[in-house]
Structure 1
Amino acid sequence: MLLNSASLRSLYVGFSAAFQSGFAGVTPQYGRVSMSVNSTTAETEYGWLGEIPRIREWIGDRVVNNLETHGYSIKNKTFESTVGVKRERIEDDNLGMYTPIFQEFGRSTATFPDELVWPFLKKGFATKCYDGQYFFDTDHPVLDENGVVQSVSNSGGGAGTPWFLMDTSRFVKPVIYQNRRPFKLTAKDRLEDENVFMKDEFLYGTDGRCNVGFGFWQLAYGSKQTLDAAAYAAARAAMGSVKGDYGRPLGVKPNLLVVPPALESAALKILNNEMSAGGETNEWKGTAELLVVPWLA
C-alpha cells in the first residue's frame, strides 16, 4: 500500500468500521442493575439519595421535602486502551489480521462498564454508600415511626460465594454508572507523528471518562451464605419489609437474582424447579429472573 494521507484515512475508516462492528450483538449486563447518569464535572454529588419524596394528604400548607445532603459523590476517572500497527504491515498490505483485533477492541469497549459495575458490586460488603455504612450491611440507620434511629440490614452475612437479590423496577437503581465522556476511536496515524518517526508504528486508541458508585441500598440484598431456599426466602423477606424513615413502606419487590457462574445451578433449582429437594412444591419457582454474570466470577 502506498502510504499517503488518503490511504491512511481510508485505513482509519476501515479500522473504525471494524471497531464499531464489535458493538453489534453485544448486550452488556450492567444496565440491569445500574442507572446511567451523565456527568458534566469532575465530580458529581448525590446528596439526594438520602431522601425519597412521599405523597401525603394535602392539609394546610405543602410540606417541602428538602433533599438532604449526605456528602456522597462520585469522581470521574479516565480509562484508555491503545493498539499499535507496524508501518510495515500497512505497506505490505498485511492487514487481514487486524480486522478481528479491532472488532474485539470494540467489543471490549462496549462491555467495559460491566468490568466496572460488577466487581464494584462485589465490593459492596466493604465499600460505603451514601449513609456512611457499607452498601451491604446490617446496620443502615433508618428512623422509625417515633424518629428514633434503628438499624436495618440488607446483608445475609456468610463467608462463601456472594450472590445478590435486587429490585430493578425503579428509576433509581442499586448502582450508578456515571458517564463523563463516551469512548470513541482516535488515531495518531500521520506520517509526521512522533510515534511513526520514532517507533515506525501507527497508534489507534480509545479513551473515556466515567466511574461507578452506589445508589439505594434498599433495593439490593447481598449474601455470602449458601444459596438455597432458606437463604433466598430470608433475602426476600428482608427486602419486602424495608421501610423508609418514619415507618413509610417502600414497596420493595425483588425481581432479579444475580449470581456468578459457580452458583447458576443452585439458582436454577430455586427459581425453575417445580419441586424442592424434599419433594414438596417449590414455592419460589418463578419469583425472580435469574441473571448469571461472568464478571462476578
Structure 2
Amino acid sequence: MIINRGNLATLFTGFKASFQNGIGQHEPQWPRVATRVPSTTSEEEYGWLGQVPNLREWFGDRVVQNLQQHDYSIKNRKFELTLGVPVDHIEDDKYGVYAPMFEEMGRSAAAHPDQLIWPLLNAGFSTVCYDGQFFFDTDHPVLDENGEVQSVANTDGGAGTPWFLMDVSRPLKPLIHQVRQEGPLVRQDAPTDEPVFNSDEYKYGIKHRRNVGFGFWQFAWGSKQTLNKANYKIARESLMGMKGDHGRPIGVMPRLLVVPPSLEGEALEILNAERDAAGATNVYKGTAELLVVPWLG
C-alpha cells in the first residue's frame, strides 16, 4: 500500500468496521442483573440507597419520606485497549491479517462489563454495600414496625459453589453498572505521531471509564449451600418475605436463578423436572428463569 492520508483513512475505516463487527458478536449477560447508570463525573454518590419509597393514605398534611442517607459511592475506573500495527506490514499489504484482531478488540470491549459485573457478584459475600454490611449477609439492619433495628439476611451461608436467586424486574436491579465514558476507536498514524516517528508503528486504541457496584441487597439472595429444592425453597421464601423499614412488605418476586456452569444440572432439575428423585411432584418447576453464566466459572 502507498502510505498517504487517503489510504490510511481507508485503512482505518476498515479497522473500525471490524471493531464494530466484534462488538456485535458478544451477547452481554450483565443487563439481566445490573442497571446501567450514566455518570457525569469521576465519582457518583448513592446515598439515597436504603429506602424504597411507598405511597401512604393522605391524612392531614403531606409526610415527606426523607431518604435515609448512606455513605456509599462508586468511583469510576479507567480502562484502555491498544493495538499496534507495524508500518512495514501496511506498506507490504499485510493489513488483512489484522481484521480478526480488531474484531476481537471489539468483542473484548463489549464483554468488559461482564468481566466486571460477575466477579463483583461472587465477591458480594465479602464486600460491603450501602449499609456497611457485606452485600450477602445475615445481619442487614432494618427497622421493624416499632422502629427497632432488626437483622435481616439475604444469604444462608455455606462453603460450596455460589448460586443466586434474584428479582430483576425493578428499575434498579441488584447490581449497578456505572458508565462515564465509552470512547470510540481512535488512531495515531500520522508521520509525526510519536509511535510512528519513534517506533515505526501505527497505534489504535479505545478508552473506557466505568465501574460497578451494589444496588438493593433486598432483591438478591446469595447462597453457598448445596443447590437443591430445600435450599431453593429457603431462598425463594426469604426473598418474597422481604420487608422494608417499619415492617412494610416490598413485594419481591424472585424470577431469575443465576448459576455457574458447574451447577447447570442441579438448576435444571429444580426448574424443569416434572418430579423429583423420590417421584413427588416438583412444585418449583417453572418458578424462575435459569441464567447460566460462564463468567462465574
TM-score bracket for this pair, using the shorter chain length: over 0.9
Aligned amino acid, residue 52 of structure 1: V
**CA pair 92-114 structure 1, distance change in 2 beyond 3 A:** same
Q: Distance in 2 between matches of 1:282 and 1:188?
A: 61
Q: Distance in 2 between matches of 1:214 and 1:106?
A: 27
SS class of match (1:9): helix
8 Å contact kept, 1:109–1:183 = no
Q: Distance in 1 between matches of 2:189 and 2:95?
A: 15
Aligned amino acid, residue 221 of structure 1: W
Q: Does 1:252 align with 2:252?
A: yes
Following superposition of structure 1 onto structure 2, how do residues 82-101 of structure 1 map, counting pairs within 5 Å?
A: 82-101=82-101
Report Cα offsets for 1:249-291 as digits up to 9, x if no partner.
Answer: 0110000000011111110111011111111111111000000
* TM-aligned CA deviation for residue 24 of structure 1: 1.8
Q: Which residue of 2 aligns with 1:121?
A: 121
RMSD over aligned CA atoms reads 0.8
Q: Distance in 2 between matches of 1:170 and 1:121?
A: 18
* TM-aligned CA deviation for residue 68 of structure 1: 2.0
* TM-aligned CA deviation for residue 111 of structure 1: 1.2
Q: Which residue of 2 aligns with 1:295?
A: 295
Aligned amino acid, residue 28 of structure 2: P
Q: Which residue of 2 aligns with 1:182?
A: 182
* TM-aligned CA deviation for residue 132 of structure 1: 0.5
Q: Which residue of 2 aligns with 1:38?
A: 38
Q: Distance in 2 between matches of 1:221 and 1:287?
A: 15
Q: Which residue of 2 aligns with 1:232?
A: 232
Aligned amino acid, residue 153 of structure 1: A
* Dislocated runs of 4+, deviation >3 Å: none
8 Å contact kept, 2:25–2:107 = no
Gaps (5+ residues) in structure 1? none
* TM-aligned CA deviation for residue 5 of structure 1: 1.1
Q: Distance in 2 between matches of 1:166 and 1:242?
A: 12
Q: Distance in 2 between matches of 1:175 and 1:185?
A: 28
Report Cα offsets for 1:67-106 as digits up to 9, x if no partner.
Answer: 2220110000000111111111101111221111111110
8 Å contact kept, 2:37–2:177 = yes
Aligned amino acid, residue 149 of structure 1: V
Q: Distance in 2 between matches of 1:111 and 1:65?
A: 39
Q: Which residue of 2 aligns with 1:195?
A: 195
Aligned amino acid, residue 202 of structure 1: Y
Q: Distance in 2 between matches of 1:25 and 1:95?
A: 22
* TM-aligned CA deviation for residue 25 of structure 1: 4.0
8 Å contact kept, 1:187–1:204 = yes
Gaps (5+ residues) in structure 2? none
SS class of match (2:89): helix
TM-score (norm 1): 0.99
8 Å contact kept, 1:143–1:244 = yes
Report Cα offsets for 1:47-82 as digits up to 9, x if no partner.
Answer: 111121111100000010112220110000000111
Q: Which residue of 1 aligns with 2:78?
A: 78
Q: Which residue of 2 aligns with 1:12?
A: 12
8 Å contact kept, 1:256–1:289 = yes
Q: Which residue of 2 aligns with 1:69?
A: 69
Q: Distance in 1 between matches of 2:95 and 2:263?
A: 42
Q: Distance in 1 between matches of 2:182 and 2:190?
A: 24
Question: What is the percentage of aligned positions where both structures have the same residue?
Answer: 60
Q: Which residue of 2 aligns with 1:58?
A: 58
Q: Which residue of 2 aligns with 1:24?
A: 24
Q: Distance in 1 between matches of 2:65 and 2:93?
A: 66
